[in-house]
């Protein structure tokens, strides 16, 4: 009887683990809102310099977030539903900038096979708001 009780407790703990993780996971919209918290949107631009886009964060089905620090750039692609953090982004640019007309190729992370294309939109800068003293 004791072995059955231990098995039941163990099984319930194993089944409850993923349920607890699911509760703490943010939706893509919540993840983007958290990144933008304390920031104010600026005037959208059609291009950003490559040096401001070294760090890219992919928000599944929502947006690409470029940059770090005081200013980050949010790009909502025309086909945002195809944005997936499990994909590898492949870019080819020739002018030292990323622009809203650029197409980003996606590859499957495990097989490295062509997966799709993402058509970039405008780049919206979000700058940190300085705290009042």
Backbone angles phi, psi at 14, to 5 degrees: -65, -40
Determine the Cα–Cα distance for residues 10 and 108; give it in Å rounded to an integer: 36
| Inside any domain, residue 105 | yes
The stretch 32-37 carries a mean pLDDT of: 94
Q: Two tokens at 52?
A: 């401001």
Tell me whether residue 51 is in a domain. yes
In a domain, 57, yes or no: yes
123/75 Cα distance (integer angstroms): 5
Which tokens in the block code for residue 129? 């708001």
- Dump pLDDT digits (tens) for 84-130: 999 999 988 778 899 998 999 999 999 989 999 999 999 999 999 88
Domain count of the chain?
A: 1
Residue 133, domain member (yes or no)? no
Identify whether 85 is part of a domain.
yes
CA angle at 23 for the pair 87 and 27, rounded to the nearest 5°: 40
Residue 69 lies in a domain: yes
Name every residue whose Cβ is closer than 8 Å to that of residue 123 and which is 6 or more positions away in sequence. Answer: 44, 45, 46, 47, 48, 66, 73, 74, 75, 98, 100
The answer to whether residue 8 sits within a structural domain is: no
Does residue 19 fall inside a structural domain?
no
pLDDT confidence of 5, banded at 50, 70, 90?
Answer: very low
pTM of the complete model: 0.77
pLDDT of residue 24: 81
Q: With contact defined as beta carbons under 8 Å apart, do 61 and 80 qualify?
A: yes
Domain span holding position 66: 27-128
Q: What is the pLDDT of residues 38-80, one digit of tens each?
A: 999 999 999 998 887 778 999 999 999 999 889 999 999 999 9
According to DSSP, the β-strands at 97-99 and 87-90 are unpaired
């Amino acid at each position: 009887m004791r072995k059955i009780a231990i098995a039941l407790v163990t099984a319930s703990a194993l089944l409850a683990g993923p349920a607890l993780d699911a509760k703490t996971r943010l939706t893509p919209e919540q993840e983007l809102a958290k990144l933008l918290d304390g920031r104010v949107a600026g005037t959208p631009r059609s291009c950003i310099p490559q040096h401001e886009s070294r760090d890219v964060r992919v928000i599944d089905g929502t947006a690409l977030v470029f940059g770090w620090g005081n200013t980050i750039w949010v790009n909502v692609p025309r086909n945002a539903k195809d944005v997936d953090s499990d994909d590898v982004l492949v870019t080819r640019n020739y002018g030292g900038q990323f622009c809203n007309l650029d197409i980003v190729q996606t590859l499957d992370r495990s097989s490295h096979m062509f997966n799709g294309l993402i058509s970039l939109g405008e780049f919206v800068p979000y700058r940190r708001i300085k705290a009042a003293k």
